[in-house]
Structure formats: structure tokens, C-alpha cells
């Protein structure tokens, strides 16, 4: 990355973080370009050099959040999606340290950002992201485990909402519990106390 690309990237990141900061305080519909510029420490012409509208920034901020999240996972965990039909069934069990540790570490390292993203998941378009993940990852996995198609969406909602409820409680407590301890709690909730290794 050359110097001008780096400067462009740093300015874009400042604006992504400014938008996230403003979303903690108010609805997206009431956030102005002026507020974003003031929070990011840039002028309006810089904003319009990067984006045509605040909606364009919102799209980029969603991508920034997803890329930041995915950066916590190793290459082999990210590539599993490419091999869903042929890999071993054990490789498709995501409630394990291989997946929970980077997920929980990201949340602990980015508490405020994650809480804001969770509270604004619809605004940031994460419902669409979930639907794509369901169609391309979760549904094929549940198919391999022989879940009837009529209940797969319910099964995923059970898992995701249960894990999110645990995460929200963890965030309320400032992520005081270690990621290992929380990972064990999630495993107990999913598998039952007698079926975990802890």
C-alpha cells in the first residue's frame, strides 16, 4: 500500500469509527455529514471525496466491521465455507474453541463497537448478511446433519439468539469473565454439562 492509499484508508477508517460512535447516541436517520466530519476530525470536502452519501459510508462501515471481525479467524477456519459438502462432519461443529476463541476475542477487544453493531444490526444490513450466511453456510451444514429443511431456520435462531443473549450479558459485565470461561458456558448451554470436556 503506497502512502496516498494508506492516507485514504486511514481517513476512511476514521469516518467508519465516527459513524459507529454516532450510532451509539442516535438513529442513523438523524446522523448528518457535519456530525460525521466533526467526530472524525475531517472536513466536508474529504467526506465527499470518499462518499456521495451517508448511506455509502454506512455500507462501507458494515464492510469494515465484517472485515475486522473476520481478521480474527485463521485462514483454515475461513476456508471451511468452500468445502462444506466434502469435509468431515466434525469440521462443521462451530461450538468449539477453534471458532469461539477468535469470536469472543474480537468481542472483548472491540466491546463498544460490537455492542453498537449488535444494537444497529438492521441498519448496518447484518440481517442480509445473516441471510446470505444461512443460505450458503448454515443451511448446507444443517442439511449434512440431516435436519429437515422446514426447521433449519428455527434451529439457527435458537443457536444464534441463545449465544447472543450470553454475549449481551457478558458485555453488560464489561467482559470480566475470560473468553475461555465464556466459551465453556456456551458449550454447556449447547451440549449440556455432561457432554462437554470442561
Q: What is the reported pLDDT for 88?
A: 85
What's the pTM? Answer: 0.82
Nearest one of 69, 64, 95, 98 to 190, comparing CA atoms? 95
Q: How many whole angstroms separate alpha carbon 147 and alpha carbon 157?
A: 14
State the virtual CA torsion across 150, 127, 167, 60 in degrees, nearest 10. Answer: 150
Q: What is the reported pLDDT for 84?
A: 80
Nearest one of 40, 37, 27 to 122, comparing CA atoms? 27
**Ranges in the chain, pLDDT < 70:** 1-7, 76-82, 194-198
Could you tell me the fold of the domain covering 1-53?
A: Arc Repressor Mutant, subunit A (1.10.10)
Tens digits of per-residue pLDDT, 45-91? Answer: 999 999 999 999 999 999 999 899 989 988 766 566 667 888 888 88
Distances (CA, A) of 64 to 44, 94, 196: 21, 23, 35
Yes or no: say if 111 and 175 are a contact pair by the CB < 8 Å rule: yes
The cell for 120 is: 444497529
Q: What is the reported pLDDT for 196?
A: 57
Q: What is the reported pLDDT for 78?
A: 59
Q: What is the reported pLDDT for 22?
A: 96
Burial 68-79 (b: 16+ CB within 10 A, else e): bbeebbeeebee
Helix/strand/coil for 56:
helix
Amino acid at each position: 500500500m503506497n502512502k496516498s492509499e494508506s492516507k485514504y484508508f486511514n481517513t476512511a477508517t476514521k469516518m467508519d469509527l465516527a459513524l459507529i460512535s454516532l450510532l451509539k447516541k442516535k438513529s442513523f436517520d438523524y446522523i448528518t455529514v457535519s456530525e460525521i466530519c466533526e467526530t472524525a476530525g475531517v472536513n466536508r470536502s474529504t467526506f465527499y471525496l470518499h462518499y456521495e452519501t451517508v448511506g455509502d459510508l454506512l455500507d462501507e462501515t458494515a464492510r469494515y466491521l465484517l472485515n475486522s471481525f473476520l481478521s480474527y479467524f485463521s485462514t483454515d477456519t475461513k476456508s471451511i465455507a468452500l468445502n462444506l459438502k466434502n469435509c468431515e462432519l466434525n469440521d462443521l461443529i462451530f461450538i468449539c474453541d477453534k471458532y469461539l476463541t477468535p469470536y469472543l476475542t474480537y468481542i472483548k477487544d472491540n466491546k463498544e463497537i460490537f455492542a453498537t453493531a449488535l444494537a444497529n444490526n438492521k441498519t448496518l444490513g447484518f440481517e442480509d448478511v445473516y441471510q446470505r450466511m444461512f443460505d450458503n453456510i448454515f443451511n448446507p451444514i444443517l442439511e449434512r446433519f440431516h435436519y429437515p429443511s422446514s426447521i433449519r431456520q428455527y434451529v439457527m435462531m435458537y443457536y444464534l439468539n441463545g449465544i447472543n443473549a450470553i454475549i449481551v450479558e457478558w458485555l453488560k459485565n464489561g467482559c470480566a469473565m475470560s473468553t475461555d470461561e465464556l466459551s465453556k458456558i456456551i458449550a454447556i448451554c449447547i451440549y449440556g454439562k455432561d457432554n462437554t470436556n470442561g
